[in-house]
Chains A and B, each alone.
Chain A
Amino acid sequence: MNLTVEKKLTIYEVTEIHEKILTCLNKDTHLQMDLSHVTECDTAGIQLLCSILRTARKKGETITIHSFSRAIQNTARIIGIEFAAEK
């Protein structure tokens, strides 16, 4: 299942995106996320991504993330988080 995140990944969108992901995972154990279009990302957004990756690692659900956009990388750097290279 594909999920493309639009331009914004901030506190205002995280709840909705979170729901979408859960719905996807209920139907399908394989999720592909396209983050290349994200132009605005804040700590809440990064936090959500952390949770996604953590869940993926733990539960063996395969979640593939395509392209952490520049904005995401930037914010992550500022707040001191390193995302492992693309799985």
Chain B
Amino acid sequence: MNDASQHIEVYRQEAEELLVEIEATVLELEENPDDIESINKLFRAMHTIKGSGAMFGFDDIAGFTHHVETTLDMVRNGKIPVSKPLINLILASRDRINEMLDAASKGSAVNHEENENIIASLNALQPGKAPDLIQPKKETSSEIPVQGAEEESTYRIRFSPHPDLFSSGTEPSMILEELRNLGEATIIAQQRNIPDLDDLHPESCYLYWDIILTTRKTINEIKDVFIFVEDNCDLSINILNDEKMPGEEKEPKKIGEILLERKDLKPEDLQGILSNQKRIGELLVDAKIVDPNLVESALAEQKHLKQVTEKQKQKQAASSIRVPADKLDTLVDLVGEMVTAQARLNQKASELNNSDLTLITEEIERLVAGLRDNTMSLRMLQIGVTFSSFKRLVRDLSAELGKEIILTTDGGETELDKTVIERLNDPLVHIIRNSIDHGIENPEVRKQAGKPAQGTINLSARHTGAHVAIQISDDGAGLDTQVIRAKALEKGLIPLDENLTEKEIFQLIFAPGFSTAKSVTDVSGRGVGMDVVKRNVESLRGTIEIESQKGKGTAIILKLPLTLAIIDGLMVNIGNDYFILPLSSVEECVELDKKKADKIKGRNILNVRGEVVPYVRLRDQFEIKSEKPELEHIVITEVNGERIGFVVDNVIGGHQTVIKSLGPAFKDIQDVSGATILGDGTVALILDVNKLVR
């Protein structure tokens, strides 16, 4: 890829990210119309898209975005209020820019008429035509604060470019010219750093500028002038006179003060020159005006503040970097193999019983564990991002169908593997669409049923033991078993006289070709059925269940195993067979005392500190024929809020388990969720506690 197309690709990726950010911010703004930060964010984002677009030849995009930017500028100066039409227009604009980006990459033409329409609507919002204000939901005043737009202020600006400013393609005269356009500017160039000809590097920038600017513009607008050189310079902007403080004497500043503020003069030097005496601090202490500790503490505060700002600067610099996903996969594979090799090392070391070797092996184990945890976390993403992306969907779709629906989310910080999140997206979209389309009723119908006109769809995610449970629930009409049954009969999916439980009837929804919508709207009935959703979820080795109450609502629950390649396992053995139980499900291990093990009416129950815990004999489950030991053990696990015990011969101990899939040959298997390679090279099976219990 040559340089130019590489830059273009970077621009496109960044523009796409910005568009995602813009959408989320607009939706936030809709809920909090007073939020100045959101408005500023939107403005900056559009500004960047416009500027970079122009730079890389995306003139269409730049031209169009310019109008949006202008509108947003007026919004942040209070000239245009935040209203529903505005929100819709910004969203529409965002979509347009997205389409133009797509068109650009495919080389297809741009629909200019569409752009014109939006631009015309944006212009119509400008002052003179007052649309309806969005009422913020708070009780407090609904005034959108105006950012001091009309009064003049004077600013001191110090603009110190880095030496590489010229090389980065920036011409300061353009920036300074722009500043002059904002108001009355006195610009002084500082030449003191320019070396003699012999030492001069002509392409480096040695100049810096002090500018005094009196303007009606806001500090943001001043900062905007420097937006593209932010990274290549040191910039400080200070308001010199604040009109909002009445009663203060506006004395012209003393030279010493000005020099101090500009940091061109050190306080000590000033003091030294003025009085040839000690520093303020010392003077104050000597005069017994201030306790020495207070001065020290003040100095400490000074130092502290300095450090804090340093750290903040560093934090802003430490952002994130893009990594191709397959590089990450390779890394994960390698770490997996390392864990296995380290297990073999451990085994060998314990056999050899060499204390030095054991010590080193333990250290390696520690390091590998750290490496493993770190690498696994790289692939984990918070599902909250996915959840948020659905807000737009719900908003648009419910509007389209004339329903009022709000999306609430819980547990957005729950992390899942990147691939799992990606593959969950389509199923979730389909389920939500179903909910909006068939689940939540019209506002009138809801009111008649005594429900609030606005329906709620709730997305929640949480870790339960070795799984992540994702629930999509609504307070809509719920499932009607009669309707489902009738439809299934109609489609010939069930025989006439079949007696089905409610759960079984719900399961019919997952049958291929099933759809109970009376009118298959464009929205959800496009041949993508719940059967596909189920298949997708199962391909992730998850389960999907439905709970519903007619008239009250429906909840769809997805359970996904943490497809992490490595988990903490508990190794057990029965005879010569070794098994792994996911440690996250395990609560405790106890010996199985033959006497204590009650067989009450033929059931296997154990009394653990007064609590009744049922148990399963894995020996019997797995039909293992070898001889039973005298003393057995029970591993007590927590499954879906209940405690169940599993009887094994011995509990060996914790084991870092690299999960290996059993492959498609075993796709129907129930009790086993995967396999792992032990230190001696043999295979141990990882048990699926959930399924074992059923």
Contact = CB atoms under 8 A, between A and B. Distances in A.
Q: Do chains A and B make direct contact within the complex (CB under 8 angstroms)?
A: yes
Interface of A: 11, 14-15, 17-18, 21-22, 25, 42-44, 47-48, 50-52, 54-55, 58-59, 75, 78-81
B207 interface: yes
A43 B191 contact: no
Contacts of B11: none
Contacts of A42: 171, 173
Given A44-B166, A78-B176, A14 B196 contact: no
A8 to B, nearest CB: 13
B200 A18 contact: yes
A17 B200 CA distance: 12
B58 interface: no
Contacts of A54: 191, 194, 196
B176 A14 contact: no
B171 A43 contact: yes
5 contacts: A14-B202, A43-B166, A50-B191, A50-B207, A78-B180
A15 B201 CA distance: 8
Which of A52, A78, A80 has its CB near the most chain B CB atoms (within 10 A)? A80
B196 A80 contact: no
A59 B177 contact: no
B511 interface: no
Given A44-B205, A50-B191, 17 more contacts: A14-B202, A18-B197, A43-B205, A44-B203, A47-B205, A48-B202, A50-B207, A54-B194, A55-B196, A55-B197, A58-B196, A78-B173, A79-B207, A79-B209, A80-B187, A81-B189, A81-B191
Nearest to B210: A80
Contact of A47 (B188, B194, B196, B209): B194
Nearest to A21: B197
A42 B207 CA distance: 13
Nearest to A44: B166
Which of B172, B188, B202 has its CB near the most chain A CB atoms (within 10 A)? B202
Contacts of A52: 197
A59 B189 contact: no
A43 B196 contact: no
A68 to B, nearest CB: 15
A42 B230 CA distance: 20
B198 interface: yes
A71 to B, nearest CB: 11
A10 to B, nearest CB: 9
Contact of B172 (A17, A51, A79): A79
A25 B196 CA distance: 13
B452 interface: no
B43 interface: no
Nearest to A78: B173
B127 interface: no
B668 to A, nearest CB: 70
A42 B205 CA distance: 12
B195 interface: yes
Interface in B8-40: none
Which of B180, B197, B211 has its CB near the most chain A CB atoms (within 10 A)? B197
A6 to B, nearest CB: 16
Interface string B314-356: 0000000000000000000000000000000000000000000
A79 B203 contact: no
Nearest to A57: B196
A78 B197 contact: no
Nearest to A81: B189
B166 A15 contact: no
A47 B207 contact: yes
Nearest to A82: B189
A43 B207 contact: yes
A11 B203 CA distance: 6
Interface string B174-194: 001100100000111101001
A69 B202 CA distance: 20
Contacts of A44: 166, 202-203, 205
B155 interface: no
A11 B202 CA distance: 8
Contacts of B176: 78-80
A72 B206 CA distance: 18
A48 B200 contact: yes
A76 to B, nearest CB: 9
Nearest to A61: B197
Contacts of B196: 51, 54-55, 58-59
A80 B211 CA distance: 9
Contacts of A14: 202-203
A15 B203 CA distance: 7
Contacts of B166: 11, 43-44
A18 B202 contact: yes
A17 to B, nearest CB: 8
Contacts of B209: 79-80
B55 to A, nearest CB: 17
Interface string B194-234: 11111010110111010100000000000000000000000
A44 B180 CA distance: 20
A10 B64 CA distance: 33
Contacts of B205: 43-44, 47
A43 B211 CA distance: 16
A14 B187 CA distance: 24
B316 to A, nearest CB: 28
Contacts of B173: 42-43, 75, 78-79
A58 B195 CA distance: 11
B189 A79 contact: yes
A11 B209 CA distance: 19
A17 B202 CA distance: 9
A79 B188 CA distance: 8
Contacts of A81: 189, 191
A44 B207 CA distance: 9
B171 A51 contact: no
A65 to B, nearest CB: 14
B178 to A, nearest CB: 10
A54 to B, nearest CB: 6
B191 A15 contact: no
A80 B202 contact: no
Given A54-B194, A78-B176, A47 B171 contact: no
A80 B551 CA distance: 75
Nearest to B191: A50
A8 B177 CA distance: 20
A50 B195 CA distance: 9
B189 A51 contact: no
A47 B202 contact: yes
B10 to A, nearest CB: 24
